[in-house]
Amino acid sequence: MAALDQTQVKEGVDQETVDAVREVGTYKYGWDTDIEMEYAPKGVNPDIVRLISGKNEEPEWMTEWRLAAFERWTQIDEPNWAMVSYPKIDFQDQYYYARPKSMEEKPKSLDEVDPKLLATYEKLGIPLKEQMILAGVEGAEDMPAEGRKVAVDAVFDSVSVGTTFQDELMKHGVIFCSISEAIREHPELVKKYLGTVVPVSDNYYATLNSAVFSDGSFVYIPPGVRCPMELSTYFRINAENTGQFERTLIIADKGSYVSYLEGCTAPQRDTAQLHAAVVEIIIEEDAEVKYSTVQNWFPGDENGKGGIYNFVTKRADCRGDRSKVMWTQVETGSAVTWKYPSCILRGDDSQGEFYSIAITNNYQQADTGTKMIHLGKNTKSRIVSKGISAGKAQNTYRGLVSMHPKAKDSRNYTQCDSLLIGDKCGAHTVPYIEVKNNSSRVEHEATTSKVDEDQLFYCRQRGMDEEEAVALVVNGFCKDVLQALPMEFAMEAQQLVAISLEGSVG
């Protein structure tokens, strides 16, 4: 962590914060698994698209859908508006499909899965054996296993290795499987919903993903069902020069509820790797989805070499009235992050929330934020974003809040805070606010080293000194974001973040 040592740390930023950021820089998941892989030829063209489709044993309509996406992709340009810079990506110099040889014959159960693969996930702290609990949470072993079940879909490079607790979930009518399996087993659902939230031609990376996505997760929660356990997908990139393109589709039918977790890591390599995922969430009447991510892809070394280029399109469509979505993300990895989990608030009284902590260090660049599109009446959204930048990193919040003429009596509150550690990094805020009716209220606030004066005033009125008051307000605020995470992730995230803003204000 030479980069951080050399930079001048601003007076007032306490040691704990500096150490925590330093800690983030030491990547714990940089090892790779030595396993025999099977690759598709390098590059992307209609044949590769057909090959991926064939490997997944997809029906004709799906292959056509992919080919149409590929056709479209060749006609559009890479976006360049984000505040990130990286060498031009040669999309023909990548593998678009890589799977462990042992996965050629799809294992019928987890017992048949290559032990090497299982060991990989074990080492990452993601045991795939049922009845085992998600490790990495201190003290979790002592808790009753029953209450702490998490179903996991593990994706290794281009394929899903296995999905746990499928039988138990089935009893409740919940479908949780890999997307390739869903295309085969539940074509009617996939056909109805795939590409309806993120259309094929949405943007450059989403279009590429539509053409070449190899696997990902599929979730369907039937009407009125509260998913009995948390669902989780763990993405691992292992192969070199391979892009990972996963696709996740979550459907929460009327009155249902699900909490979904996503984790990701990759080995430490000198060359940058591409990850372009698409997540679509459909939320019907009275349903609620919580989507939490701890993104910990390899961020590159302290000289900015290697790392993952993370170009992700995530969007939730609150179609029904009173539907609700909550995005929570802790972004600590990736060399370049380009990610805007968004909410389309179509149903009346629907709600969208976005909580984000983005930490960048060394040469990392993150351009992340959200879009809140208010279409329905009385819709509410809340954005809380914390950006922490250290070393030579650039951290940008980019967001849109749009109140359409028909979104009467809607409400948005946005709060973006940035903290800079060292004088070589940057923190930026680029919000777009579009208000087209007068009964809605929109409030946007962004600060760098500043806390809400009213809250401070309140604390001081109650006899606290300024320092104490600042500590309380800021600390409470950051913890709010962490607390939005489900238990399983909160601990991991806290270990990753563990950053206190105390003393940095004033």
Partner 1 sequence: MALPEVKQTVTQARLANLVMPDAGCTRAAREDALARVLEMGLPSRRDEYWKYTRPDTLIAPEAPHAAVFHSDEPLLFSDLDRLKIVFVDGVFSPEESDDLTLEGVSIDRIEDICCKDIHWAKELYGVLETRGQTPVQRPLAALNTAFAADGVAIHVTGKPSKPISLIYRHASDSSDAMLHHIVRVESGAEVTILENGPAAARFNKCIEIDIADGGTLHHVRAQGRDHERRAATHMFTRLGRESVYKSFTLTVNGVLTRNEQIVELTGDDAIAQVSGACVGDGDFHHDDTVFITHDAVNCESRQVFKKVLRNGATGVFQGKILVKQGAQKTDGYQISQSLLLDDDSQFLAKPELEIYADDVACSHGSTSGAIDETALFYLRSRGVPTKEATNMLTLAFLAEAVDEIEDAALVEAIVNRLEGWLSRRS
By the criterion CB under 8 A, which residues form the site for partner 1?
A: 10, 81, 403, 405, 418, 420-450
The tokens for 435 are 């208000």
State phi, psi for 207 to the nearest 5 degrees: -70, -45
Least distance CB 81 / partner 1 (angstroms): 7
Smallest gap from residue 438 Cβ to partner 1 (A): 3
The residue among 53 and 412 lying less far from partner 1, judged by its C-beta, is: 412
Q: How far is the CB of 33 from partner 1 (least distance, A)?
A: 40
Q: Based on CB atoms, which residue is closest to partner 1, 129 or 441?
A: 441
- Tell me the closest approach of the beta carbon of residue 296 to partner 1, in angstroms: 25
> CB of residue 441 vs partner 1: minimum separation in angstroms?
4
Q: Measure CA 504 to chain center.
A: 28
Q: Output the six-digit token pair for 68.
A: 């149409």
Least CB distance to partner 1 at residue 442 (A): 5
Q: CB atoms < 10 A from the CB of 472, how many?
A: 16
- In DSSP notation, 209-274 reads HHHH--B-EEEEE-TT-B-SSEEEEEEE--STTB-B-BEEEEEE-TT-EEEEEEEEE----SSEEE
- Closer by beta carbon to partner 1, 81 or else 147: 81
Please list, in sequence order, all residues whose beta carbon lies within 8 angstroms of the beta carbon of residue 191, skipping any fewer than 6 positions away.
61
Measured CA distances, 471 to 422, 484, 496 (Å): 21, 20, 20
Residue (244 or 410) nearer to partner 1, CB:
410
Task: Supply the minimum distance, in Å, between the C-beta of residue 449 and partner 1.
Answer: 5
| Contact predicate 379/407, CB 8 Å | yes
Q: Which is nearer to partner 1, 201 or 415 (CB)?
A: 415
Are the beta carbons of 217 and 176 closer than 8 angstroms? yes
Q: How far apart are CB 165 and partner 1 at their closest, in Å?
A: 45
CB burial of residue 151 (10 Å; 0-12, 13-18, 19+):
buried
Which lies closer to partner 1 via its Cβ, residue 81 or residue 87?
81
Q: Report the residue number, 117 or 442, with the smaller CB distance to partner 1.
A: 442
**Rounded-to-integer distance, Cα 384 and Cα 443, Å:** 12
Closest CB to partner 1 among 47 and 443? 443
DSSP 423-491: SS-EEEEEEEEEE--SS-EEEEEEEES---HHHHHHHHHTT--HHHHHHHHHHHHHHHHHHTS-HHHHH
